[in-house]
Amino acid sequence: MADWEKDHIAEAFAFELNQVENEDVPAHVMNELLVNVADELAQKVSAQTGIAVAPMGTPEAPTPSAPDPAGPLRPQTKDNASPALSLDKPALVIKGRRIALLAGDGVDADQLNEMKEALLAQGCVVELIAAHAGVITDSDGKAQKVNRAAPNAPSVIYDGAVVLGGDSAGALSKSGLAIHFINETFRHGKPLVFISNGNLVMKAAKFPKVSVQDGVIAANGDDAIEAFVQALHQHRFPRRSIDSVPA
């Protein structure tokens, strides 16, 4: 497991154990299960729950907390590690990734069409999100079907988000729903791209200093599309600094 995966696993155990009211149950989970999986995991969970870690037993001298210890685990090496178990690597394909395109009346028609075509060509599921259901009118005066109205489009169901430029960008930068969507997407480590003046929304969201390496792209045209597709292959960027970004 990568460092962030280890933290995520420990946080998941801590979240569940912190909800248990019977104090005996977390103690049994810690000292009969987690200590026999990995001491590092047990210590991380202990730090977040306050559950004491009992001394580890041995096959010759078992303890009540570890009645049947399997003995020390083999240290991870290149020979016994399995890269297949880790998500910390780019995906070979992004078919099926669900992408939100945030827009409104006056959205740049070229940006909308080019990004949509590029993502569909990769097998992504693309949905146009606007303030209301029905249709919006792009910069060419053409009606564009809205797939979901913003109140019915939670960020958690998408794998990435595109904020398109054009006259709609200014309105999006003042929309509480749009800002919340973008901030939540950022906090969950998902790829984001802001095209041309779509970066007004990024500024309104008050992101910390970010870069393409963080999966946050502010660019134009083909550069924006190419960088976003590459970020989608990475899928998540869990090492982002998110403490300063509103939930």
- Identify the bridge partners of residue 193 per DSSP, sorted by sequence position: 162, 217
Residues spanned by the domain of 135: 98-234
Query: What is the band of 80 on the pLDDT scale with cuts at 50, 70, 90?
Result: low
* Residue 42 near residue 30 (C-beta atoms within 8 A): yes
**Which amino acid appears at position 76 of this protein?**
Q
pLDDT tens digits for range 152-209: 999 999 999 999 999 999 999 999 999 999 999 999 999 999 999 999 999 999 888 7
The fraction of the chain above a pLDDT of 90, given in percent, is: 61
Q: Is residue 127 a part of any domain in this protein?
A: yes
Give yes or no: residues 131 and 197 share one domain. Answer: yes
Give CA separation, 86 vs 2, 61, 105, in Å: 7, 35, 42
**pLDDT at residue number 198:** 93
Of the residues 26, 55, 71, the one at which a domain ends: 71
pLDDT at 69 > cutoff 60:
no
Which domain CATH number covers 8? 1.20.1370
Give yes or no: residues 148 and 223 share one domain. Answer: yes
DSSP β-ladder status, 135-137 and 143-145? antiparallel
Q: What is the C-alpha separation between 230 and 215, in angstroms, rounded?
A: 9
Give yes or no: residues 150 and 31 share one domain. Answer: no
* Residue 239 near residue 4 (C-beta atoms within 8 A): yes
pLDDT at 70 > cutoff 70:
no
Helix 221-234 and helix 109-121: axis angle, to 10°?
40
Q: What's the rounded mean pLDDT across residues 4-24?
A: 92
Q: What's this model's pTM, rounded to 2 decimal places?
A: 0.77
Q: Is 157 helix (H, G, I), strand (E, B) or coil?
A: helix
Give yes or no: residues 39 and 122 share one domain. Answer: no
Check residue 71 and give left, alpha or beta (phi > 0: left; psi -120 to 50: alpha): left
- Domains of the chain: total: 2
Q: Is 207 helix (H, G, I), strand (E, B) or coil?
A: coil
The tokens 């899928």 sit on which residue? 235
